[in-house]
Structure 1
């Protein structure tokens, strides 16, 4: 059974989600704040984190960027705004569903992202396809030319892995340097390639050099 950690700042929603998912997944913990979420996820190492997007102290993005555990994130929110969807996907979430989803559908979404696939509520998939095909979300384009949205989308750990990859380190050497498993390095490398839209490690190295990320 998939191990799940639930993050939402409303205790009533967390209780309801637990009831809906009872017997379908193994909920190993929950949290209502960013700090509690980061600590709990790093402690329990769940397979999947159900992550609320809008929370105090930085919201879901702060959790995504603060977690070191090797886990998969599925955003779960009342919001279906394009900018919310794109921001958490760029930060590393594997899917995004709205809170109108049924318990059984949510369990299916959890299984799908845990298997390595992406999952989106039907009307949200188009936002992601447009963004990664070169489309822009208005709020993001306002950032100005001094920001590289692709670099900004990389988590702190992904940037660390990227720099070591660009310097020629092997996956095993990166794992020893960062005190993480080879499997975790491979996962980060795969996410980096996906976010930067590079086809292989050599192309990624050139990309990193061109942005002084090595």
Structure 2
């Protein structure tokens, strides 16, 4: 029996997903979580074989929750976001699979079974883009560019973080919205695998960023 924990903050989608899974032989939904904090608590309590994880949830986001759970728990990401940054961040955090919402119930169940068996599962379009981003990552590393996983904009934001500027100050300097900066900061934390701003500043300064303050 494959024990599954479903973590998604959209109740209607979560219930529909639970309904699809419970109809399958050999699959048991052992718990539901509406945010990342609950997902971590329930995973520690219930010890599921697979966690179906949304990325953008209240509290601890799905990338950070995945990082804390892997490799002890196999995580299959199921999200509406299919951009390169989200895919790469989830992969680096230890996700064993990545599907975009809209995948059929049959496809999701198949992916759950594959991940439970130890396989990695990525949609064809997602897999191609992951390989492309990782190749660019390696090229950046060879060129000596710090934090090659970051986009140019994220590196610019990190450089400003390292100078001690707040999100509001960075937003005004780059002529971007506060929400956009918050999203960039969350992506940076996930890619650097740091928990807070102070850790990000330490990593950035060690790499030579933020020295124009």
TM-score normalised per structure 2:
0.63
Partner of 1:135: 136
Partner of 1:10: 10
> Would the aligned equivalents of 1:28 and 1:46 in 2 still touch at CA under 8 Å?
yes
State the alpha-carbon separation in 2 of the partners of residues 115 and 66 from structure 1. Answer: 21
1:160-171 matches, within 5 Å, as none
2:38 is aligned to 36
The Cα shift of 1:144 comes to: 4.0
Q: How does 1:1-214 map to 2 (within 5 A)?
A: 1-24=1-24, 25-67=27-69, 70-132=72-134, 134-136=135-137, 140-142=150-152, 143-144=154-155
Q: Deviations over 1:152-200 (max 9, x none)?
A: 56699xxxxxxxxxxxxxxxxxxxxxxxxxxxxxxxxxxxxxxxxxxxx
**Structure 2 CA distance, aligned partners of 1:33 and 1:93?**
17
Matched residue of 1:140: which SS? coil
Greater radius of gyration (CA): 2
Once the two structures are TM-superposed, the CA of residue 56 in structure 1 deviates from its matched residue by 2.1
